[in-house]
Amino acid sequence: MNNPAPILKIIDLVKHFPIKTGLFNRVSGNVFAVDGVSLELNKGETLGLVGESGCGKSTVARMIVQLIKPTGGTVKLHGVDLSTLSSKKLKEIRQKVQIIFQDPFSSLDPRMKAKDIVGELLKVHENLSANELDNIVAELFNRVGLSKDQMENYPHEFSGGQRQRLGIARALSLNPEIIICDEPVSALDVSIQAQIINLLVDLQQKSGISLIFVSHDLAVVKHISHRVAVMYLGRIVEFTEKETLFSHPQHPYTQSLLEAVPVANPSNRKIKKILQGDVPSPIERPSGCHFHERCPKATSQCEKIAPELIEHSKGHLVACHNL
């Protein structure tokens, strides 16, 4: 029996941000944020996208929902290239793909009541009476663990975790197939993070939605993801099943990230290989493999030729010359 086709395909996605200087805003260079990223997302799956700050993972997330236009490459939803759609068709497609942002407070209008924030997309896309809208919003509040008594409150009257629940309720309002979670718990306390992660897992199990979970926190990604892609300076360097990545990481960068994760039992602590140097600038990227300047396994080949992301074992893709 054939596996079902992925619902989302990202093919060779590229994003360069021009640097404009001077009185006439002449382009003096580019920030190379994303450099040829390809991914697939299956129905009911959570795909983790991890890497250090500035690696391009949030830019990928925003390009998927067309908040940022790609410089190159394609985003396909059910085989349809989103870049070819008219504004009207893209508006319809956006009902199927929603996004949750990192800072719940800045993404919520402080002048709007909670019920209006959650019902905002329904007003745009659906023809509902005021009573029908209130009933749907009340059900959405219930789904994310908020009381309908809070519907008249304003964002400042909610805690950080509750505001993120509002963002999730808003994302769920149009019954999307995919939710992009862009660092959704990084601004929250650890105990609140667990509540939000468990809520997302529960919602996925009940509704079958697919998630792309963007984070720099490997412990959180390990808890929620089915497959994980690791990014470094705009490129995917490793992509595989969660269990494989955390038990048998192959790329030196992935190994370094995992060795930096805190260990609960100090007796299990290993001598860590600390990464040398800082992440290079996305304006002046290293030649060849972007990681070679910090890699303990780097050779002259790494300095000259960028390794392709290829399958080294079943379902395990790695971009490294030295495996």
pLDDT digits (tens, 9 = 90+) for 67-95: 999 999 999 999 999 989 888 888 888 88
Q: Judge whether 181 lies within some domain.
A: yes
- Which range is least confidently modeled, 129-143, 162-176, 262-276? 262-276
Cβ count within 10 A of residue 100: 25
Residue 269 pLDDT: 55
pTM of the predicted model, to two decimals? 0.91
231 part of a folded domain: yes
* Overall number of domains in the chain: 1
Whole-angstrom CA distances from 261 to 178, 221, 258 are 29, 12, 5
DSSP H or E run through 232: strand 227-232
Q: Is residue 111 part of a domain?
A: no
**191, 183 in Cβ contact below 8 A?**
no
The two beta strands, 46-50 and 227-232, are parallel
In a domain, 132, yes or no: no
> What tens digit of pLDDT does each residue of 196-229 get?
999 999 999 999 999 999 999 999 999 999 999 9
Residue 163 lies in a domain: no
DSSP-derived secondary structure for 154-167: -GGGS-HHHHHHHH
**How far apart, in Å, are the Cα atoms of 111 and each of 106, 114, 222?**
12, 10, 37
* CATH number of the structural domain spanning residue 42: 3.40.50.300
Q: Which domain holds residue 232?
A: 8-96+176-318
Task: Give domain status of residue 151, yes or no.
Answer: no
Kindly state whether residue 58 falls inside one of the protein's structural domains.
yes
Q: Among 50-59, 272-281, 285-294, whose mean pLDDT is lowest?
A: 272-281
Residue 126 lies in a domain: no
